[in-house]
A and B are shown apart, each in its own frame.
Chain A
Amino acid sequence: MAKVVMRGNEATALGAKLCRPQVIPAYPITPSTMFPERISEYVANGELDTEFVLVESEHSAMSAAIGAAATGVRVVTATASQGLELMHEMLFIASGMRLPIIMAVGNRALSAPINIWCDHQDTISARDCGWIQLYAERNQEALDLMIMAFKIGEDKRVLLPALVGLDAFVLTHTMEVVDSPTQEEVDKFLPPYKPDHVYLDPKRPITIGSFGTPEYYTEFRYAQELAMSKEAPKVIAEVFKEWERTFGRKYQMVTGFECKDADIIFVTMGSMTGTARETVKKLRAAGKKVGLCKITVLRPFPAKELKEVLGGAKVVAVVDRSLSVGYGGPVFAEVAGIFVNDAKKPIIQDFIVGLGGRDILVKDFETIVSKCETTMKTGKPEKVIDWINVNYEPAGVK
């Protein structure tokens, strides 16, 4: 291992490189552009032996990834925001075809209005598509999760594609010190990808991508769901454990910090976790019983793990960096759903914050805490779904 200063995009590119991908189809888009740029530099300098396919759109990037994965090779790509939306139909297809394609997504807000900065709307809007979803808090996590994603997705019990979300600019373009595994260490951790279930070879004529009538479609979905919700959590736990043993860094689907006796717990995803952690330390020092629950794995949804961490709290404050227009925060909806049938449960509140790259500050978390304290006093949230740091004044049509 070596300590290197690098940006999040460089971390995911390095993580991809260390896993020896055989085909990399890619298309540039802010903030992930640096990924194909780094990859092409590696290739140009002979540091990476891969087929780098510079496609003409993100939809073709995922299509080519599917073609390559169907041929039986290890594939990786990267995109963000509008690019992820453009390849939306292909995401479902990659998962339905059980192709373990790995992708780094620079979490960026969606148009309109067009915005290149950080929020989670892109990957959140793709959470139904059958991809394993991992979220990085720091560049170290981006690198680590990128490598682990291959091992998880390619596991014969799983065989599903996986993406690693890292916040636009906050992680993708910010330099941090990262502990980088060596090629030998990654080779030991991740064996070559040799699928049995799918490869195109004239010696074995198979048909991939059949037409599934109502007679069969349900069973294919069911099998996919079993792989995602029954097998993947087991495999993720195994891979996290092996990573900790090998590299000394611990990962969990959900990580609690100061939650055991907490009255109020934040639920966070991505880089905002760091700010939340600072807030928890500050408020704990002031005697407030506040905790933090970080979601690293959103799909498969860690219902059991979340319940364990959050169950004892009085108020759970889900911090959503995305919005289901007309409803509220998507992560809130999923967290609230865990407790819906329980007699004893925390009060769960939703806070929409940080859309379109607006920074989430310690004082925003403090505002959340004070709102939750009011909830604790009155026994009911003033607003279940609330927006933090919004300053709306309509200007009208001129």
Chain B
Amino acid sequence: MQDQNCKVVSPKELFVSGHRGCAGCGEMNAVRQVLLAAGENTIVANATGCLEVASTAYPQTSWNIPWVHAAFENAAAVASGVDAALKALGKREGVNLFAFAGDGGTFDIGFQALSGMLDRRQKVIYVVFDNEAYMNTGIQRCSSTPYGASTTTSPAGKKSIGSTGSKKPIANIVAAHDIPYVATATIAYHVDLKKKVQKACKIGGPCFIHVFAPCPTGWRHASDDTIEMSRLAVETGVFVLWELEGGYDPSKINVTYKPKERKPVIEYLKGQRRFAHLMDKPEELKKIQDEVDAKCKMFGF
């Protein structure tokens, strides 16, 4: 298949082709980016979800690194066990240990295990791939689902504007656990993501990286718009890229990217049919814009 006159110079893939992810899947791309940044000396403990199901249908696997999956709500607990075992074997040094989970397996059902792992200060880098709903079971509402988004368990209808809760500020809650490193990242800003992953690998753990990963199937945008949606989320201030190193001191939060001129939120919402029902409701749009404005003010832009 490879052209004989063209020598491959890109790095070895640790998450290979052939997985059953949707065309244009933001999460699959995010996993690739994280692993390319982390390198081969990596072990992953994965929660149940799109990623796990699409990449390990027996007897095939897309993983080129050691990988373990047990259940849905316990990526952090399984990773805790791996961390302890590596230490017991004297093999902990130099190995990056990740816990991968979706927002489904983190914000709600996985919250306890995550908090426990952070409390124990285990050397785990927890990466949550956030596509704002339980996608693997078919787009159900999660506490990561933003205000106004239509999901199958919070559908927009004659008497509903979709999900009425606000998005759980997971990275802030994790940061309050006073851990060495917390960061938010997204796939469009790949240099920023790579830097953050590598910083986490250097620190060892516990670290937490909130990766915002658009889902064309769940958000109902075109499959080629995935990176653009990730970019617009940041350019509109819906998702802020920041990091906090060295424990819980909110004054030390470092916003790693500030859009020069913040785009109005509608630029981000209009491309996703999960928000289509809001387009004729200016009060709702204003509500969302106000919320984003308040958040960005808090972050200083």
Query: Which A residues lie at the B interface, using CB under 8 A?
Result: 22-23, 25, 50-51, 53-57, 59-60, 63-73, 75, 89-90, 93, 97, 200-202, 204-213, 216
| A–B Cβ pairs within 8 angstroms, 14 of them | A53-B120, A55-B116, A56-B116, A60-B113, A70-B70, A200-B43, A200-B82, A205-B63, A205-B66, A209-B46, A211-B52, A211-B53, A211-B56, A211-B57
B64 at the interface (CB under 8 A from A): yes
Chain B 87-123 against A: per-residue CB contact (8 Å), 1 yes, 0 no? 1110100010000000000000000110110011010
Q: Is the pair B81, A202 in contact by a Cβ cutoff of 8 Å? A: no
B69 at the interface (CB under 8 A from A): yes
A65 to B88, CA, bound (A): 13
B157 at the interface (CB under 8 A from A): no
A210 to B67, CA, bound (A): 10
Q: A53-B120, A56-B112 are in contact. Are A73 and B80 (CB under 8 A)?
A: no
Residues of B within 8 A of A204 (CB): 66
Q: Is the pair A205, B67 in contact by a Cβ cutoff of 8 Å? A: yes
Q: Is the pair B88, A209 in contact by a Cβ cutoff of 8 Å? A: no
Q: Is the pair A53, B80 in contact by a Cβ cutoff of 8 Å? A: yes
Q: Is the pair A67, B91 in contact by a Cβ cutoff of 8 Å? A: no
A248 to B77, CA, bound (A): 41
With CB as the reference atom, state the residue of chain A lying closest to B74: A63
A206 to B82, CA, bound (A): 14
Q: A60-B116, A207-B61 are in contact. Are A70 and B68 (CB under 8 A)?
A: yes
Q: Number of residue pairs across A and B with beta carbons under 8 Å? A: 160
B294 at the interface (CB under 8 A from A): no
Distance from B272 Cβ to chain A, minimum over Cβ atoms (Å): 29
A208 to B71, CA, bound (A): 12
Q: Is the pair B59, A216 in contact by a Cβ cutoff of 8 Å? A: yes
Is the contact region of chain B dominated by helix, strand, or loop, or is it mixed?
Answer: mixed
A57 to B74, CA, bound (A): 11
Q: A23-B88, A71-B89, A97-B70 are in contact. Are A56 and B61 (CB under 8 A)?
A: no
Distance from B71 Cβ to chain A, minimum over Cβ atoms (Å): 6
Q: Is the pair A71, B85 in contact by a Cβ cutoff of 8 Å? A: yes
With CB as the reference atom, state the residue of chain B lying closest to A203: B66
Q: Is the pair B40, A60 in contact by a Cβ cutoff of 8 Å? A: no
With CB as the reference atom, state the residue of chain A lying closest to B113: A60
Q: Is the pair B58, A212 in contact by a Cβ cutoff of 8 Å? A: yes
A89 to B41, CA, bound (A): 31
Q: Is the pair A67, B58 in contact by a Cβ cutoff of 8 Å? A: no
Q: Is the pair B116, A50 in contact by a Cβ cutoff of 8 Å? A: no
A93 to B83, CA, bound (A): 19
With CB as the reference atom, state the residue of chain A lying closest to B95: A202
Between B58, B67, B78, B87, the greatest number of chain A beta carbons within 10 A of the residue's beta carbon is seen for B78
B73 at the interface (CB under 8 A from A): yes
Query: Which B residues lie at the A interface, using CB under 8 A?
Result: 40-43, 45-46, 52-53, 56-59, 61, 63-71, 73-74, 76-89, 91, 95, 112-113, 115-116, 119-120, 122
With CB as the reference atom, state the residue of chain A lying closest to B70: A66
Distance from B42 Cβ to chain A, minimum over Cβ atoms (Å): 7
Q: Is the pair B41, A63 in contact by a Cβ cutoff of 8 Å? A: no
Q: A64-B77, A67-B82 are in contact. Are A201 and B70 (CB under 8 A)?
A: no
Q: Is the pair A209, B68 in contact by a Cβ cutoff of 8 Å? A: yes
Q: Is the pair A208, B69 in contact by a Cβ cutoff of 8 Å? A: yes
A97 to B115, CA, bound (A): 26
Q: A50-B88, A60-B74 are in contact. Are A207 and B81 (CB under 8 A)?
A: no
Residues of A within 8 A of B95 (CB): 202
Residues of A within 8 A of B64 (CB): 205
Residues of A within 8 A of B52 (CB): 209, 211
Q: Is the pair A210, B58 in contact by a Cβ cutoff of 8 Å? A: yes
- A-B pairs with lowest CB-CB distance, top 8: A67-B81, A56-B116, A209-B69, A71-B85, A64-B81, A63-B77, A68-B81, A67-B78
Given contact pairs A66-B68, A200-B86, enumerate 6 new A-B contacts (beta carbons under 8 Å): A51-B84, A59-B74, A67-B79, A73-B85, A202-B41, A206-B67
Q: Is the pair B80, A71 in contact by a Cβ cutoff of 8 Å? A: no
Q: A63-B78, A73-B88, A202-B95 are in contact. Are A57 and B116 (CB under 8 A)?
A: yes
Q: A50-B88, A54-B120, A60-B112 are in contact. Are A68 and B82 (CB under 8 A)?
A: yes
With CB as the reference atom, state the residue of chain B lying closest to A208: B68
Q: Is the pair B112, A90 in contact by a Cβ cutoff of 8 Å? A: no
Q: A51-B88, A56-B113, A90-B70 are in contact. Are A66 and B81 (CB under 8 A)?
A: yes
Q: Is the pair A90, B65 in contact by a Cβ cutoff of 8 Å? A: no
With CB as the reference atom, state the residue of chain B lying closest to A55: B116
Residues of A within 8 A of B122 (CB): 53
Residues of A within 8 A of B42 (CB): 202
Q: Is the pair B57, A89 in contact by a Cβ cutoff of 8 Å? A: no
Residues of A within 8 A of B43 (CB): 200, 202
Residues of B within 8 A of A57 (CB): 112-113, 116
With CB as the reference atom, state the residue of chain B lying closest to A49: B88
User: Out of A59, A97, A211, which one reaches B77, CB within 8 Å?
Assistant: A59
Q: Is the pair B77, A60 in contact by a Cβ cutoff of 8 Å? A: yes
User: Out of A55, A72, A205, which one reaches B80, CB within 8 Å?
Assistant: A55
User: Out of A22, A60, A212, which one reaches B89, CB within 8 Å?
Assistant: A22
A91 to B275, CA, bound (A): 42
Residues of B within 8 A of A22 (CB): 85, 88-89
Residues of B within 8 A of A59 (CB): 73-74, 77, 113
A93 to B81, CA, bound (A): 15
Residues of A within 8 A of B65 (CB): 202, 205
Q: A53-B120, A55-B116, A202-B42 are in contact. Are A71 and B74 (CB under 8 A)?
A: no
Q: Is the pair B71, A63 in contact by a Cβ cutoff of 8 Å? A: yes
Q: Is the pair B80, A67 in contact by a Cβ cutoff of 8 Å? A: yes
A23 to B92, CA, bound (A): 14
Residues of A within 8 A of B82 (CB): 67-68, 70-71, 200
Distance from A219 Cβ to chain B, minimum over Cβ atoms (Å): 10
With CB as the reference atom, state the residue of chain B lying closest to A212: B58
Q: A56-B119, A202-B95, A216-B58 are in contact. Are A89 and B84 (CB under 8 A)?
A: no
A64 to B84, CA, bound (A): 9
Distance from B90 Cβ to chain A, minimum over Cβ atoms (Å): 10
Q: A23-B88, A72-B85, A211-B58 are in contact. Are A55 and B77 (CB under 8 A)?
A: yes
Residues of A within 8 A of B85 (CB): 22-23, 51, 67-69, 71-73, 75, 200
Residues of B within 8 A of A89 (CB): 71
